[in-house]
Chains A and B, each alone.
Chain A
Amino acid sequence: MGSAATSTRHLIEVMGTVVTVDLFGDVDDLSAAGVIEQVEEILREADRVFSTYKESSPLSRLRRGEVTLGETPAVVGDVLDLCQRAKSLSAGWFDPWHLPGGIDPTGYVKGWAAQRALDHVRILPLSGAIVNAAGDIASFGGPTPDTVFRTGIVRPDDEGQLAAVVELRGSLATSGEAQRGAHLFNPFTRQYGAAVASASVAGPDLGLCDALATALSVGGHDVMVLVEKLKDYEAMTIDAQGSIRATPGFPFVRD
Chain B
Amino acid sequence: MAPTTTTTSAVTGVRTVTGPLVNYFYGELSVKVTANGKKIKSVTIGTLTDGGNPRSITIDQYAIPILEPEALAAQSSSIQSVSGASYTSAGFQMSLQYALKSLGI
Contact = CB atoms under 8 A, between A and B. Distances in A.
A17 B88 contact: yes
Q: Do most interface residues of chain A lie in helix, strand or loop, or is the interface mixed?
A: strand
A130 B88 contact: no
B4 interface: yes
A159 B84 contact: yes
A253 B89 CA distance: 27
A65 interface: no
Contact of A180 (B43, B75, B88, B97): B88
Nearest to B7: A37
Interface string A2-31: 100000000101001110101000000011
Interface string A131-153: 01011110100010000011111
Contacts of B76: 152, 162, 165
- A: interface residue count bin: 35 or more
A159 to B, nearest CB: 5
A2 B79 CA distance: 8
A20 B43 CA distance: 11
A20 B81 CA distance: 10
A200 interface: yes
A165 B80 CA distance: 10
A172 B83 CA distance: 8
A154 B81 contact: no
Contacts, number: 139
Interface string B28-56: 00000000000111010000000000010
B86 to A, nearest CB: 5
Interface residues of B, number: 43
B89 A179 contact: yes
A152 B40 contact: no
Contact of A22 (B2, B40, B81): B81
B11 interface: no
A88 interface: no
A137 B79 contact: no
A152 B88 contact: no
Interface in B89-105: 89-90, 93, 96-97, 100, 105
Nearest to A157: B55
B17 to A, nearest CB: 13
Interface in A147-189: 149-154, 156-162, 165, 168, 172-174, 176, 178-181
Given A152-B72, A165-B76, A178-B25, A16 B97 contact: yes
B85 to A, nearest CB: 5
A251 to B, nearest CB: 12
B69 to A, nearest CB: 7
B87 A154 contact: no
